[in-house]
Structure 1
Amino acid sequence: MSTQQTIDVEYRGGMSVAALIEGRAIVTDQPVKDGGQDAAPSPFDLFLAALATCAGLYAQRFCESRSLSTEGLGLRVTCTYADKGFHVEAMDFALTLPEGFPEKYRDALLRAVDLCTVKKHIVTPPRFSVRIAE
């Protein structure tokens, strides 16, 4: 049997929109050039941040599950955009390893980061439907 999660969207004035999830509000806005106040990340920024933080979490969990230090562990995600339109063509995830990180775990760490749940949803997308609520 499937389970469900509901996300309600609340309009906050101007270009600010919030997603209400399990009692928490995730607020978004648009840059000034797009009519917003730039008071919060845009929805697309949150999308990219979800990919980055998910990958970072998988790296952290990998290290902690093996009692490896996470001091100095870092991740930088570089997005390359298409020349025309607003589309990310490539994302490069570059991990910085803690000092003394064991060589034997390097490939396994990369495989672990590649398992990020957010990325999996892009590779195998869900079905989308848009409708007028009754």
Structure 2
Amino acid sequence: MDIEVTFPGGKRVDATVGAFTLRTDQPAELGGEGSAIAPFEAFLASLATCAGIYALGFCQARKLPTEGLKLTQRYEVDPETKLPSMISLTLQLPDGFPEMYRGAIVRAVEGCKVKRTIMAPPSFEVVALSPKVSAAVLPGA
């Protein structure tokens, strides 16, 4: 799967995935206009929304109530690396949610593909091509 990244100006960076475009920008204090979510916050939001779809899917598959279902993600930052050292996902279950499903919905959320990718990180490769180099030399091309 390819994600096409473009640079529309300023500190804005857009990523097109299929028919959708995720627009990002840096906050004003980092030289951007603050016109869109920052890339790192989009990364964190992808984890939260992935966990959310797993929670929602769990409830919908069992016809459990979802009104009042809420997920909150918090994270702590390591002062040295400035990277998250702990990410916490808290589900607020709706009124009437059966106690017998509490552990099961937690396990469902733990199955989130974004979380599983973070826990078993892929290898990364960065390649820079000059205009004279063919894309055919790229791995997987």
TM-score by length of 2: 0.89
Matches within 5 A, 1:1-134: 5-133=1-129, 134=134
- Partner secondary structure for residue 12 of structure 1: strand
Q: Which moved more, 1:114-123 or 1:124-133?
A: 124-133
1:15 maps to a residue whose letter is K
- Partner secondary structure for residue 41 of structure 1: coil
TM-score by length of 1: 0.93
Distance 2:128 2:28 in 1: 30
Give the total of aligned pairs: 130
Distance 1:63 1:78 in 2: 23
Instruction: Note the residue ranges of structure 2 that are not aligned, 5 or more in a row.
Output: 135-141
Alpha-carbon displacement from aligned partner over 1:48-99 (angstroms, at most 9, x marks no partner) = 0000000011000000000101111000111111123421111111100010
Distance 1:105 1:24 in 2: 35
2:49 maps to a residue whose letter is T
Check whether the contact 2:11–2:25 (CA below 8 A) recurs between aligned residues. Answer: yes
Q: Identity across aligned pairs (percent)?
A: 43
CA RMSD of aligned residues (A): 0.9
